């Protein structure tokens, strides 16, 4: 697998999750990036792909868990078999269906089943999933009525499932099955050296899609892109570049074309010794408020981008000095 995406019609790792991935049926998905973290990820996927029966992909929102799952599926010699994507909410709804197992099958029961957001499954849905996958023996009276599927299973999560198991919110048996193979997708802030290639890729992709926009990115703009923390990861980068392509009217994409960079750098960040006088609590609060502002006050979306639960976000807002202005 190469370190760059030869075909710009398919997004690189982290380019989008399900809702932002219109070309998800591409036959040759690739994982872009020359950072040590991405090289390690590619090696892990290549080593696992031919042999896995179940796997868990963990990472923050927007890191590209679905794409990693597709590469895992395609790299194991099973690219010609179905890749079925099912959200956790689909599983919950399927429990009420007349024939719930049919939501997993499209023709022969072969290929790879990708369960997105497995941490959102209720305990009854987890029990049913264990039975339908043949990972737990059903009660004798249910055996004659139970249809099973025989597919490789990849699940994704934004949480550390061990904490959910300890809290009694996730079945130990399902956790053990899924974590036989665990892949962690690194956040974009930990691989800033990959940002130039990703940004240029997105620029070319959206410029071709819309038939307009800059042909390059100004050097000072690229520097700002690398300095930004990207709480929404590569999906957020993709959206920022798309917005810039639609706004730009010159040959180079500049800071003024990217609304996400419109806010000035934190004043204390430009002072050499400012870090010593800045409280960690203040930095955290500013970051949380900034993400919440970017989300238009949508606390659920902000919690997803921050990688925390909504209840944790509420607690942070309640203890912050600006909480009264946000509720």
pLDDT in tens, 226-241: 999 999 999 999 999 9
The tens digit of pLDDT for each residue in 97-151 reads: 555 555 555 554 678 999 999 999 999 889 888 888 887 655 444 444 445 566 8
Name the token pair of 75.
């790299």
- Residues 79, 160, 92, 300, Cα dihedral to 10°: -110
Report how far residue 33's alpha carbon sits from residue 3's, in angstroms, rounded to the nearest whole number: 6
Q: What is the pLDDT of residue 310?
A: 73
Name the token pair of 55.
């796997």
- Work out whether strand 83-87 and strand 112-116 pair parallel, antiparallel, or are unpaired: parallel
The tens digit of pLDDT for each residue in 291-305 reads: 777 666 777 777 777
192 has pLDDT over 50? yes
The torsion angles phi and psi of 26, rounded to 5 degrees, stand at -60, 145
Confidence of residue 262 (pLDDT cuts 50, 70, 90): confident
Helix residue ranges, H only, the chain: 36-48, 65-73, 88-94, 123-132, 140-143, 161-166, 172-178, 195-210, 219-227, 233-247, 280-294, 299-306, 310-319, 323-326
Give the predicted TM-score (pTM) of the model: 0.70
Q: What is the pLDDT of residue 196?
A: 96
Whose tokens are 């500049």? That residue is: 254
Report how far residue 156's alpha carbon sits from residue 72's, in angstroms, rounded to the nearest whole number: 13
Report how far residue 147's alpha carbon sits from residue 127's, in angstroms, rounded to the nearest whole number: 14
Mean pLDDT, the chain, rounded, equals 77
Closest alpha carbon to 127 in 89, 172, 179: 172
23 has pLDDT over 70? no
Whose tokens are 């690398």? That residue is: 226
Q: Is 150 exposed, middle or buried (0-12, 13-18, 19+ CB in 10 A)?
A: exposed
Report how far residue 284's alpha carbon sits from residue 302's, in angstroms, rounded to the nearest whole number: 14
């Amino acid at each position: 697998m190469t370190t760059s995406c030869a075909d710009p019609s398919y997004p690189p790792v982290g380019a989008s999750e399900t809702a932002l991935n219109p070309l998800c049926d591409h036959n040759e998905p690739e994982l872009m990036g020359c950072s040590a973290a991405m090289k390690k990820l590619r090696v892990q996927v290549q080593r696992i792909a031919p042999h896995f029966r179940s796997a868990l992909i963990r990472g923050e929102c927007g890191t590209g868990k679905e794409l990693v799952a597709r590469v895992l599926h395609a790299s194991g010699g099973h690219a010609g078999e179905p890749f079925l994507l099912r959200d956790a909410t689909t599983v919950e709804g399927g429990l009420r269906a007349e024939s719930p197992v049919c939501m997993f099958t499209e023709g022969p029961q072969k290929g790879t089943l990708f369960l997105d957001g497995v941490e959102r499954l209720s305990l009854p849905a987890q029990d049913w999933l264990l039975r339908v996958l043949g990972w737990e023996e059903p009660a004798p009276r249910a055996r004659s009525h139970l249809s099973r599927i025989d597919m490789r299973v990849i699940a994704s999560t934004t949480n550390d499932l061990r904490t959910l198991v300890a809290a009694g919110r996730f079945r130990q048996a399902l956790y053990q099955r899924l974590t036989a193979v665990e892949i962690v997708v690194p956040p974009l802030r930990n691989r800033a050296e990959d940002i130039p290639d990703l940004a240029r890729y997105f620029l070319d992709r959206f410029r071709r899609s819309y038939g307009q926009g800059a042909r390059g990115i100004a050097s000072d703009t690229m520097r700002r892109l690398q300095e930004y923390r990207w709480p929404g990861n590569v999906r957020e980068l993709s959206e920022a570049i798309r917005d810039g392509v639609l706004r730009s009217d010159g040959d180079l994409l500049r800071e003024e074309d990217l609304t996400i960079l419109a806010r000035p750098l934190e004043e204390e960040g430009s002072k050499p010794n400012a870090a010593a006088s800045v409280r960690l609590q203040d930095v955290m609060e500013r970051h949380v408020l900034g993400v919440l502002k970017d989300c238009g006050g949508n606390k659920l979306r902000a919690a997803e981008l921050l990688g925390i639960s909504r209840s944790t976000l509420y607690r942070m807002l309640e203890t912050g000095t600006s909480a009264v202005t946000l509720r």
